[in-house]
Structure 1
Amino acid sequence: MTPLTGNGENETGILRCFGQQVRLLRTSRGLTRAELGVKLGYGEDMVASVELGRRIPRPEFIERADTVLEAGGLLTVMKEEVARARYPAFFRDAARLEAEAVELHVYASKAVPGLLQTDEYARAVCEMWLPLLDPETVDQRVGYRLARQVIFDCQPSPTISFVIEEHVLRRPLGGHAVMRGQLEEVLLRAQQRNVVVQVMPIGCVEHAALDGPFTLYETHKGQRLAYVEARNDSRLFSERRSVREYEEQYGILRAQALTPRESLGLLKKMLGEL
């Protein structure tokens, strides 16, 4: 079992290390921050923020900087680590597993899963977070959450399934217009050949996972893991006995939930009610 914490220390260290590398390369080339910004197509403030470890640079920034500063790959080799820093610390390992998964199974009981969220819904969720996130952090988290959705277009296609509580789909976070768009997105994804969406109805008298949401992963190496998320304190289980318990829960949940066809019908019905 691997505990994941949300203290952000690793994230800060990675960003500071990358920023120091950029600063050393820049000064060794005799460039000011403003001059480097012009060459990269960014403002001086952006360069300063990256050098000080305050901003997470996008991949294109890193690639341009490596070329302009003639770093010979010194900066691009850190691109993957810097990219992982864009996620909250408690989700970083899960994000890595998600990107590598050949199978991904999600049980959602609090909000629409991030992989299915629209821009508007994700923004509403992030803006409700307490303590309040600053606008720049909200923009970053929304952008990175949407970027995760490339998994739906990966080849070969991973097998992806969701069991979502009906009350999650009926709670109009962000307003009815936002929720209409969100239901349309869930319905669209549910019709992809490699995606299955099932709804756990409110009226179900039996329930195998009352202790909360979780995600199951299987990697291309055959490793099977379970990720259980709580507020800023999440755990990744790799020990077979623990993972098997969550797999058993998920299997029973799927049997208790509406069938995929019934779930599509309910989604369409809910859309008509908005």
Structure 2
Amino acid sequence: MEKAKAKARVRHPAWFRDYARLERDAVEINFYNNHDVPGLLQTQRRTRALYEMRKPLLSEDIIEQRVASRMDRQEILTRWPLPMVTAVIEEVVLRRPIGGLDVHREQLERLIKLGRLRNVELQVMPTDRVEHAGMGGAFVLLIPKGKTQVGYTEAQNSSRLISDAEEVRILAARYGSIRAQALTPSESLDLMEDLLGEP
């Protein structure tokens, strides 16, 4: 198993490695996601479904490696000292049954469970908001231990690690606005439980 995990890390796309290293040492991680659930919060079956639908197609070997690697990263959520993790997820993401209804329900259950952890705060951005500070797309803000805050963006297999202080400040201000426009963590958990109860 350890050999498989090590292999998965080695085979990770090169553009992701710097971010993964910083994430591993982070004391705070903040996600804004507009298309999917952040990788750290995904179930194994949802992760697999996402890689299986990728176009052009990935080989079974690559899918297995990437699923194993993503699951391995999730130890961050429970490893002491616990990082503070916040995430704002679009409501539409919570309504899109990626992988089928069973996989989708399992993902909602996991989000509800994670949202009750002391170090995790999840918020939902309702679809009916008339103002939305996150229209520029998804991003991550994180603070590695003993270092200054950095940003990270990723789209269409291209990524950018942002260390320029002014750019990071703008992202942080934007994230503050996004959180203010979203449902509170308590309201968000209530919405997820409602969605879970829908037929």
Q: Please indicate the TM-score interval, normalised by the length of the shorter structure.
A: over 0.9
Q: Is the contact between residue 98 and residue 104 of structure 2 (CA under 8 Å) also seen in structure 1? A: yes
**1:254 corresponds to which of 169, 174, 179:** 179
1:220 matched to which residue of 2? 145
| 1:52-79 superposed Cα distances (whole Å, 9 cap, x missing partner) | xxxxxx74489xxxxxxxxxxxxxxxx7
Q: Which consecutive residues of structure 1, in runs of 5 or more, have no partner in the other structure?
A: 1-57, 63-78
Q: Is the contact between residue 15 and residue 158 of structure 2 (CA under 8 Å) also seen in structure 1? A: yes
Residues 1:208 and 2:129 are matched in the alignment = no
1:67-146 → structure 2 map (5 Å cutoff): 84-146=9-71
Structure with a larger share of its residues in helix: 1
Query: How far did 1:220 drift?
Result: 1.0
Deviating runs (4+, > 2 A) in structure 1? 58-62, 82-86
Q: Aligned pairs, how many?
A: 199
| 1:17-69 superposed Cα distances (whole Å, 9 cap, x missing partner) | xxxxxxxxxxxxxxxxxxxxxxxxxxxxxxxxxxxxxxxxx74489xxxxxxx
CA distance in structure 1 between the aligned counterparts of 2:195 and 2:16, rounded to whole angstroms: 31
Query: How far did 1:222 drift?
Result: 2.9
Higher relative contact order (CA 8 A, sep 6+): 2
Query: How far did 1:153 drift?
Result: 1.0
1:38-53 → structure 2 map (5 Å cutoff): none
Q: Decide which structure has the larger Cα Rg and report it.
A: 1
1:49-68 → structure 2 map (5 Å cutoff): 59-60=2-3
Which secondary structure does the structure 2 equivalent of 1:110 belong to? Answer: coil
Query: How far did 1:102 drift?
Result: 0.3
Please tell me the root mean square deviation across aligned C-alpha atoms, in Å. Answer: 1.6
| 1:135-189 superposed Cα distances (whole Å, 9 cap, x missing partner) | 1111111111111100011111110000000001110011111100000001110
Query: How far did 1:94 drift?
Result: 1.0
Q: Is the contact between residue 86 and residue 144 of structure 1 (CA under 8 Å) also seen in structure 2? A: no
Letter in 1 for 2:26: A
Residues 1:185 and 2:110 are matched in the alignment = yes
**2:165 corresponds to which of 236, 240, 251:** 240
Q: Is the contact between residue 9 and residue 69 of structure 2 (CA under 8 Å) also seen in structure 1? A: no
Letter in 1 for 2:79: C
Structure with a larger share of its residues in strand: 2
Query: How far did 1:130 drift?
Result: 0.9
CA distance in structure 2 between the aligned counterparts of 1:257 and 1:61, rounded to whole angstroms: 39
Residues 1:263 and 2:195 are matched in the alignment = no
